[in-house]
Amino acid sequence: MCALCLISAITGGLRGGCFSYATALVNNKMRSDLFKSLIYQEIGFFDERKTGEIMSRLTADCQTMSSTVSTNINVFARNMIMVIGSMIFMITISWRLSFAVFVTAPLMGFITKIYGSYYDKLSESTQTKMADANAIAEQALGTIRTVRSFACEHKEVERFEEKLIATLKVNAQKSWAYLGYASLNEFGNNATLIAILFYGGHLVLTGKMSGDALFSFLLYQTQIAENVYAIGWVFTGIMEAVGASRKVFEYMKREPKIKNNGEFIPPHVYGKIEFNNISFHYPTRPQTIVLDVSYHPSLIT
């Protein structure tokens, strides 16, 4: 036992340190790839999106995604191994009681799937609301001299608080969703425990199972219930990371509409340039044409 305690302490610290460093690596890689994609986008891309919203994707969303590595995957792997081990021991003790426990798994899986889809949408909405709030804060603080000149401090505070209230409402919906999921999960665990006590007691009274075996089975069942609860918490975190990742990967994969891949041309060039059917408008004002040239020949020497 002393040797196992020593090994457990060393490997536990090693596991935490490795996952912590993995978080830093993932965060660094995602932020680097996202910034590399953003920096090559056309100017119209930045006209359509606020700087604060882009910065929120580059900081908060990337951090939410990378934290999944160190926390959620770590907890998921540990609890999943314990669930599998406990299930094996339960089957060796009594396959009849094990069947009674496993029959509720599809129902809990269905509830988890519905909850995950709903929580995923709420998580994406939360990240969007946070990005809007960050955009207002960045705009106000970046032009603080203009805000102070027009005495608009109170107005900017109201705008920022409106976005915070909108974010809070989405978080309230997430809390209610988690409350319902946790309640159903707790009810399922308690119902399973009652079924084990009822059917296990019947097996003990009929001589098909010993009381010691039933007690051991209940201990493993309690362990599995704790592990399943932890896995449900991990699932919530993963859905939150999925919601945050959509915009990040969308920006990463976005191809610039205007390619900046010109080549160097020697300064002494003789050629004829014609402007034929050229028009231009800003992305944020597509109805306003600021340049419209039907035909205009020009000569450069």
Q: Hey, where are the domains in the chain?
A: 11-253, 271-300
**Residues in Cβ contact with 288 at an 8 Å cutoff, skipping those fewer than 6 apart:** 281, 282
pTM over 0.75: no
DSSP 104: T
Asked whether the predicted pLDDT for residue 153 surpasses 50, the reply is yes
The length of the chain is 301
The region of weakest confidence among 79-83, 174-178, 192-196, 268-272 is 268-272
Fold of 11-253: ABC transporter transmembrane region fold (1.20.1560)
The whole-number pLDDT of residue 35 equals 92
101 vs 83: CA distance, rounded Å: 13
Q: Which of these, 109, 68, 62, 19, lies nearest to 236 by C-alpha position?
A: 68
Asked whether the predicted pLDDT for residue 269 surpasses 70, the reply is no
Phi, psi for 156 (deg, rounded to 5): -65, -35
The whole-number pLDDT of residue 296 equals 55
Which runs of consecutive H residues, i.e. helices, occur in the chain?
2-39, 43-48, 51-56, 62-67, 74-93, 95-102, 105-142, 144-149, 153-205, 211-253
Average pLDDT of the residues in 68-81: 79
The region of weakest confidence among 184-198, 229-243, 248-262 is 229-243
Asked whether the predicted pLDDT for residue 257 surpasses 50, the reply is yes
The whole-number pLDDT of residue 301 equals 40
- Residue 83's pLDDT band, with cuts at 50, 70 and 90, is confident
Asked whether the predicted pLDDT for residue 151 surpasses 60, the reply is yes
pLDDT in tens, 232-254: 777 777 777 777 788 888 888 88
279 vs 74: CA distance, rounded Å: 55
The mean pLDDT value of the chain amounts to: 81
The whole-number pLDDT of residue 299 equals 44
pLDDT in tens, 84-130: 888 888 888 888 788 877 777 777 777 777 877 787 788 778 878 88
DSSP 150: T
97 vs 99: CA distance, rounded Å: 5
- Tokens 């002393």, residue located: 2
172 vs 166: CA distance, rounded Å: 10
Average pLDDT of the residues in 181-189: 80
DSSP 248: H
